[in-house]
Copies of this chain bind each other. A is one copy, B any other.
């Protein structure tokens, strides 16, 4: 009844863009929400999208990557870059030289993922203050009611 571009979040609509049977009653959850959760989990970890974003400007070697992403630890960079490679979001090219050189580059899939993530980043930039304000107001109110 409402003009909802969002209802899709709780329907299999986005989970079944191709021909998909509506056999399983399609309640609210399992069909689409699992895919959403998985993707949010992939994208929502601490470093993945930042690495992808940094790699969009072009290939980088390990150390350059670590320098560009700033706070990331050696271990986390290895781990992040490995999982991105595994999921086909970046490629890893090793040059058997001495000293060893390895270059990482974003794939087309990786770049396509950046698009919606940027939308989200834009939302974040636009509404970050709203959230902070709401949070402050909420906490102030709790604090006040804690007194009485």
Contacts and interface: CB of A to CB of B under 8 A. Distances in A.
Interface of A: 2, 4-10, 14-17, 27-30, 32-33, 35-46, 49-50, 52-54, 56-58, 68-71, 85-89, 109, 111-128, 130-131, 133-135, 137-139
Contacts of A5: 114-115, 118
Q: Which 8 A-B pairs have the closest CB atoms?
A: A44-B44, A88-B134, A9-B53, A39-B124, A29-B70, A116-B119, A6-B114, A6-B56
What's the dominant secondary structure at chain A's contact region? helix
B33 A70 contact: yes
Contacts of A124: 14, 35-36, 38-39
B9 A118 contact: yes
Contacts of A52: 6, 9
Contacts of A38: 124, 128
